Amino acid sequence: AKNFYAGPSVLPVSVLEEIQKDMVDYKGSGLSLIETSHRSAEYGQVHKNAMNLVREIFGVPDNFKILFIGGGATLQFSMIPLNFLSGGKTCDFTLTGTWSKKAYADAKKVGNVNVVYDGKDNSYTRLPDPSTLKASPGSSYFHITSNETIGGIQWKDWPDTGDVPIICDMSSDIMSRPIPFEKFGMIYAGAQKNLGPSGFAVVIIRDDMLEKCNPNMTAFLDYKVHAEKESLYNTPPVFSIYAMSLVLEKVKAEGGLKEVEKRNKEKSKLIYDVMDKSNGFYKSPVDVSVRSDMNVVFTMANEELEKEFVAQAKAKQMVGLKGHVSVGGCRASIYNSLPLSDVVALVEFMQEFQKAKS
Ligand code: PLP
């Protein structure tokens, strides 16, 4: 099937086939990797390789640590404020859609949150000019969600917040484009869109941020513990990390993030072009300048038409095109591993459907 679901991951078929081979007998060891001790040399190699690949592909500077933490991005919504906001501190938040609001709701339970931007008035369909945003004095961090998976909006540039570190949730667009690390104190992402299977988050955190962590945190919630133990404090999600390492190998072999970004832009442009040339048959609620290259949202004249579109697409093996229940409409999630040919099939169908209904 052609997988347009918003998650969990679309994995390349070649990766799934390699996993299948290793599942019963990992590289001739006589054990599945899933059965292998996380303290063994075999898994140690997988773990280290995954970390090295993240550092290499993303160009992570030496003064950042790479952590793999079970629990997904949602756990980070708690860990971030517990580490950096406890004890009456203040942070800044940009509210740009469902996910940033969830992160905000958790942060508010721990400390003071200053809302720098709230897109409520435009129903979260546009983003502010980053150069107009300022952090508040003494703020512990400035939170941004780089891509709103449900609303389909994506930051294309970043604010300059001076000494206040930006913490960015990149769950739904990590590895889709290069990351300018000089702009961030910490980035994090649930693995399950572009990196691999669900169940953990990749956290990339600057050394000076680790120094600022709450000293009274319980072990698992303490970034310093994960950093000191190189993400082996407890049993890591070995299968997911292994599968991610295969995805990373593939991205490296195919030319890295610049190449990935080029392909993603090509894919999203195909759909946006069809929408823009449809004389309003397909409409995007999102401001043109911040349309997402990962989650393309669109609406039609009425819900009936959208339902029929989704059903007909499904009959053609194109699945997952229904928009999120909270916003309705349609959504095509076109993560890294979705092939260009699947997007071509979708746009051909969009044109056919419009013709049939006009
Ligand atoms: N942030 C964003 C932008 C997401 O899209 C998601 C999940 O889809 C999350 C956070 C939550 O991630 P998880 O399910 O890994 O907790």
Model ipTM over 0.95: yes
> pLDDT confidence of 247, banded at 50, 70, 90?
very high
- The whole-chain average pLDDT of the chain stands at 96
Average confidence (pLDDT) over 64-82: 98
> pLDDT confidence of 249, banded at 50, 70, 90?
very high
Is 9's pLDDT higher than 80? no
CA dist., res. 218 & res. 227, Å (int) = 14
Indicate if 287 belongs to the active site: no
Pocket of ligand 1 (CB under 6 A): 7, 72-74, 99, 145, 149, 169, 171-172, 190
Is 102's pLDDT higher than 90? yes
| pLDDT tens-digit series, residues 143-164 | 999 999 999 999 999 999 999 9
Cα(31) to ligand 1 centroid in Å equals 32
Which numbered atom of ligand 1 lies nearest the CA of 150? 5
Cβ pair 129, 148 in contact under 8 A: no
For the chain, domains (ranges, CATH) are 13-253 (3.40.640.10), 256-357 (3.90.1150.10)
| pLDDT tens-digit series, residues 26-41 | 988 899 989 989 999 9
Is 265's pLDDT higher than 90? yes
Give pLDDT, residue 7. 87
Give pLDDT, residue 10. 78
Which numbered atom of ligand 1 lies nearest the CA of 146? 3
CA dist., res. 103 & res. 120, Å (int) = 16
Residue 145 labeled ligand binder: no
Pull the structure tokens for residue 357.
């209904």
Give pLDDT, residue 208. 98
Indicate if 99 belongs to the active site: yes
Residue closest via CA to ligand 1's atom 2 equals 171
Is 272's pLDDT higher than 80? yes
Average confidence (pLDDT) over 101-123: 98
Q: How many other CB atoms are there within 10 angstroms of residue 179's CB atom?
A: 20
Question: Residue 47, CB half-sphere, CA atoms under 13 Å: how many?
Answer: 22
Indicate if 193 belongs to the active site: yes
Is 240's pLDDT higher than 90? yes
Backbone angles phi, psi at 166, to 5 degrees: -85, 130
Give pLDDT, residue 69. 98
β-bridge partners, 299: 283
Catalytic residue among 2, 65, 92, 193: 193
CA dist., res. 128 & res. 159, Å (int) = 10
Give pLDDT, residue 203. 98
Pull the structure tokens for residue 300.
């039609």
Average confidence (pLDDT) over 227-237: 97
Which numbered atom of ligand 1 lies nearest the CA of 145? 3
| pLDDT tens-digit series, residues 299-337 | 999 999 999 999 999 999 999 999 999 889 999 999 999
CA dist., res. 163 & res. 12, Å (int) = 40
Ligand 1, pocket-test mutation among 145, 149, 325, most atoms within 8 A of CB: 149
Residue closest via CA to ligand 1's atom 3 equals 171
Average confidence (pLDDT) over 167-190: 98
| pLDDT tens-digit series, residues 118-139 | 999 999 999 999 999 999 999 9
Cα(306) to ligand 1 centroid in Å equals 25
